[in-house]
Structure 1
Amino acid sequence: MFVIISFIALFPILSLLLSSFRPSSELMRNGISIQFDISTLNLDNYTYIFTEAGKYWSWYGNSLIITVITIILSLFFSSMVGYALAVYDFKGRNFFFVLVLFILMVPFEILMLPLYQLMISWGFIDTYTGVMLPAIVAPIAVFFFRQYALGLPRELMDAARIDGSTEYGIFFRIMMPLMTPAFAAMAILQGLGSWNNFLWPLIILRSSDMFTLPIGLATLLTPYGNNYDVLIAGSMMTIIPFIILFVFFQRYFVEGLTVGGVKG
């Protein structure tokens, strides 16, 4: 049963993988499918990407830079905010948590115009900063880390305070290692969102040298010609970073998503 479900889930990827080795003429005749003539399969599309598609690697590099920095900053700031909302009792804590939930429920499309005007006033149009800034403190990540931090043992915090540790020391040296599953899960989810983000970078970025992969690949489809062969091969290359990321963090992923406590 699970084999059948897995095949159904992987069927689109398998179709794209096979299509990435087919010439454009066959793609135009038969479309994307698992039916193919083995004699027509070749590496021309990938050879073109590695040898002649210079802009493609520029887009790839832009996406990598934006995604890596977004993951690091988002995990750092969102974890601190979520941790503070979970373990500290201060005036206005519930108000800030409700505010996080409210922002989480607001569609991003509603926030785009004010955010765009803000980026203009700050001079962040056509910059990495303009693309990354709205995602640095993500409401979903704050909510996730808060829920996870609620299950952390407070006794460790009290023991660390008795030993003279500062609040920052408690977070970075004691609590952060305990939150490793949450960090791994959110690294995958936040990174995937940043890597696949199309609309916001499309609004912010202007020059083709600054394009991310989703925008760059979209430019291959024009009224004057459609490079479906290169587009499909390039799309297959985009999943490699997250296959690697998931392989390294898969053992933490499910544990992090369950938002469990510490057993001991």
Structure 2
Amino acid sequence: MKKKKSSLAAWITNLAFVILSFIALFPIISLLISSLRPSSELMRNGISITFDPSSISLDNYTYIFTQGGNYWSWFTNSLVISAVTIVLSLFFSSMVGYALALYDFKGRNLIFGFVLFILMVPFEILMLPLFQLMISMNLINTYTAVILPAVVAPVAVFFFRQYAVGLPKELMDSARIDGATEYGIFFKIMLPLMAPSMAAMAILQGLGSWNNFLWPLIVLRSNDMFTLPIGLATLLTPYGNNYDILIAGSVMTIVPIIILFIFFQRYFVAGLTVGGVKG
């Protein structure tokens, strides 16, 4: 009787998760189906999961791959910016978080307090000072202007600090006895232990950089420098709306995030869980 109850409970649980998964995937499925429909049908019926099989075609994707020159320029720009942002943010933010967690120095709590304070400040308040800073540094319409504000992200510093609090300090003492330098301790001993947190933050930072719209819109000027979100937004104009190309292009933007998650998924849950409860 107990086995029947447990199997029934497991079946109901699995069914509930299947339903929740379908609900979560419903927007993506609708977007995918709509990307295969012509613009006329999109204007008539909108984005939906229902469709006329006779109207389904790959023309939108064919256009992107053969004639979408600007699209691939925007795609490359976003890819380069996201990749550099991930690498620099993980490198510098992990070092700051590690230092705040495992080193005792004057002003440590004050610096951590500033990190928490900046976390609570909306980006809209920081936009004008950042923009003025980019102008004074002659960085407008450059990749550097997009990447620089995200190099040491407060949320990443906080995350790495919380994770590093749980690392064993005994390993640091042993390494010092063996003659290791502080940089050697970090890169050879502690950084490998922080791999789950690095993977989790790589996904989160990559997703944030890939979808970033407002800040690149402010600092970028020329069409060939636009990132993918800005470039896709330019397809909607008062003189014509290329919804079919816009939706097909939006589907293509999901691919890099899926690839990034596939590479780091094994560490993602562990990194979020441990980083969220330590300290």
TM-score tier by shorter-chain length is: over 0.9
Aligned to 2:180: 165
Answer yes or no: is the 8 Å Cα contact 2:160–2:275 preserved in 1: no
1:201 is aligned, of 208, 216, 227, to: 216
8 Å Cα contact 2:197/2:275 also seen in 1: no
Normalization by structure 1: what TM-score?
0.98
In structure 1, distance between residues paired with 2:50 and 2:157 = 46
Match of 1:101 in 2: 116
From 229, 242, 245, the counterpart of 2:260: 245
Pairwise CA distance, 1:79: 0.2
Larger Rg: 2
Give the total of aligned pairs.
Answer: 261
Q: How far 1:260 moved relative to its partner? A: 5.3
> How many Å separate the matches in 1 of 2:85 and 2:66?
29
Alignment of 1:202-221 (within 5 A): 202-221=217-236
User: Identity over the aligned pairs, expressed in percent?
Assistant: 80
Q: Deviations over 1:140-163 (max 9, x none)?
A: 000000000000011111110110
Q: Could you say which residue in structure 1 is the equivalent of 2:48?
A: 33
Where 2:82 maps in the other structure, the secondary structure is helix
The amino acid across from 1:215 in the alignment is I
Match of 1:255 in 2: 270
Give the SS at the match of 1:258: helix
Distance 2:49 2:74 in 1: 29
Counterpart of 2:32 in 1: which secondary structure? helix
Match 1:73 to one of 88, 92, 97:
88
Q: Partner letter of residue 213 of structure 1?
A: L
Unaligned residue ranges in structure 1 (runs of 5+): none
- Contact 2:83-2:206 within 8 A present in 1 as well: yes
Residue of structure 2 equivalent to 1:151: 166
Residue matched to 1:222 = 237
Across the aligned residues of Structure 1 and Structure 2, the Cα RMSD in angstroms comes to 0.8
Equivalent residue for 1:61, pick from 67, 70, 76: 76
Distance 1:63 1:184 in 2: 20
1:124 paired residue number: 139
Measured in 2, the distance between the counterparts of 1:152 and 1:62 equals 37
Which one-letter code corresponds to 2:167 in the other structure? L
Q: Which runs of 5+ in 2 are unaligned?
A: 1-15
Q: Could you tell me how far apart the structure 2 residues matched to 1:143 and 1:132 are?
A: 19
Matched, 1:84 2:105: no
- Whether 2:57 is the aligned partner of 1:42: answer yes
Q: Which residue among 232, 249, 263 is the counterpart of 1:234? A: 249
Cα distance per residue 1:77-125 (max 9 Å; x no partner) = 0000000000000000000000000011100000000000000000000
Separation in 2 of the partners of 1:20 and 1:4?
A: 24
TM-fit CA distance, 1:196: 0.2
In 2: Cα distance, 1:207 partner to 1:66 partner: 16
| Partner amino acid, structure 2, of 1:197 | N
Q: 1:21 aligns with which of 28, 36, 39?
A: 36
Report the secondary structure of 2:274's partner residue: coil
Instruction: Give yes or no for the alignment of 1:111 onto 2:126.
Output: yes
